[in-house]
Structure 1
Amino acid sequence: MTVLDALQATLADEHAAVYTYGVLGARTSQAATPATYDALTTAYRRHRARRDQLRLMVVDAGGTPVAAEVAYALPGPVRRPAQVVQAALDLEATSAEVLLALVARSSGDVREWALTEAVWSATWQVTQGAEPVTWPGAPELG
């Protein structure tokens, strides 16, 4: 896998994340669960910024950014607040894995950016109640 391939895979993952956070946010009540709503809004904005940055990185690497799908499958039922939070935690775990794959394939500014974003995803999971893990984004090392 080349750096461009890893960038494209990360961009595709971010398209899915932006879509999923949009759905999760729509299923969250700002009045009933304000902390969850705020956390999802923060994550949505972070993933949108990632997606936009990745588009630029793909172009800089000589590629044409992969387009978003029309829709994405949700990670199971997301009707209750606990299901919404779990879906967001799972999404961030996947994001950390994809970002660390980019870290492994890149160098310089791209690697630094991807590592920073992977750390954000891992930290966000803990702030939302997930148990800290020794190797976030690398479950095979746990």
Structure 2
Amino acid sequence: MVSDTSADDVGKLSKALAAEHAAVYAYGLLGARTSGSLRDRMTLAFEAHRARRDQLRTYLRARGGRPVEPDASYALPFFPGDATLAVRLAVHLESGITAAYLELAAARDTSLRRYAALAMQDAVSRSYGFRPDQPAAFPGMPVAATPAPSVVKD
């Protein structure tokens, strides 16, 4: 039997797992549709998300939960028809992963909170690696305003 505290954490873990399933699916597609160094980065992201997915399954089972299975396919917000769109989709995926782990960061179990924080850090770092010229705001935080030009007075 799962306690109320564990049930709350199991729900958060399940949501993070569902997000990882979607990321594994999408990065599999992205790896197949890219080439060169971009494909290498997509493959590394695929492997990272697959490892996180497997760890989340372990955490769920250890807490008496039943891991959700992946869907046969996932609807993408747009089709990555070229390298620019592939990068855009990868950044979108990492943003979604960060948001999924943000909820897990509120888990009662401190080890899960730490795991979630590290997962968010990884996702944000991957996103930045794909688009260093356009860093995203952390979920829940406002986008930084463009600084006003400084005025020099005589």
**Paired amino acid for 1:12:** A
Q: Please state whether the residue corresponding to 2:105 is helix, strand or coil.
A: helix
Q: In the aligned structure 2, how far is the partner of 1:102 from the partner of 1:11?
A: 10
Equivalent residues of 2:27, 2:46 under 8 A apart: yes
Structure 2 residue aligned with 1:117: 119
Q: Please state whether the residue corresponding to 2:106 is helix, strand or coil.
A: helix
Structure 2 residue aligned with 1:38: 40
Count of residues paired in the alignment? 135
Q: In the aligned structure 1, how far is the partner of 2:108 from the partner of 2:28?
A: 29
Following TM superposition, by how much is the alpha carbon of 1:132 offset from its aligned partner in structure 2, in angstroms? Answer: 2.4
Q: Please state whether the residue corresponding to 1:141 is helix, strand or coil.
A: coil
Matches within 5 A, 1:1-142: 2-29=8-35, 34-130=36-132, 131-133=134-136, 135-136=137-138, 138=139, 140-142=140-142
Q: Please state whether the residue corresponding to 1:104 is helix, strand or coil.
A: coil
Q: In the aligned structure 2, how far is the partner of 1:46 from the partner of 1:99?
A: 15
Which stretch has the larger CA shift, 45-54 or 100-109? Answer: 100-109
Equivalent residues of 2:31, 2:39 under 8 A apart: yes
TM-score w.r.t. length of structure 1: 0.89
Q: Superposition RMSD on alpha carbons, in Å? A: 1.4
Q: In the aligned structure 2, how far is the partner of 1:106 from the partner of 1:35?
A: 40
Equivalent residues of 2:34, 2:83 under 8 A apart: yes
Following TM superposition, by how much is the alpha carbon of 1:39 offset from its aligned partner in structure 2, in angstroms? Answer: 1.0
Q: Which has the larger radius of gyration?
A: 2
Following TM superposition, by how much is the alpha carbon of 1:106 offset from its aligned partner in structure 2, in angstroms? Answer: 3.7
TM-score w.r.t. length of structure 2: 0.83
Runs of 4+ in 1 over 3 A off after TM superposition: none
Q: In the aligned structure 1, how far is the partner of 2:82 from the partner of 2:18?
A: 27
Q: Give unmatched runs, 5+ long, in structure 1.
A: none
Q: In the aligned structure 1, how far is the partner of 2:27 from the partner of 2:100?
A: 17
Which stretch has the larger CA shift, 11-20 or 121-130? Answer: 121-130
Following TM superposition, by how much is the alpha carbon of 1:61 offset from its aligned partner in structure 2, in angstroms? Answer: 1.2
Following TM superposition, by how much is the alpha carbon of 1:45 offset from its aligned partner in structure 2, in angstroms? Answer: 0.4
Q: Give % identity.
A: 35
Equivalent residues of 2:87, 2:131 under 8 A apart: no
Q: In the aligned structure 2, how far is the partner of 1:141 from the partner of 1:129?
A: 19
Q: Give unmatched runs, 5+ long, in structure 2.
A: 1-6, 143-154
Structure that is richer in helix per residue: 1
Q: In the aligned structure 2, how far is the partner of 1:141 from the partner of 1:106?
A: 23
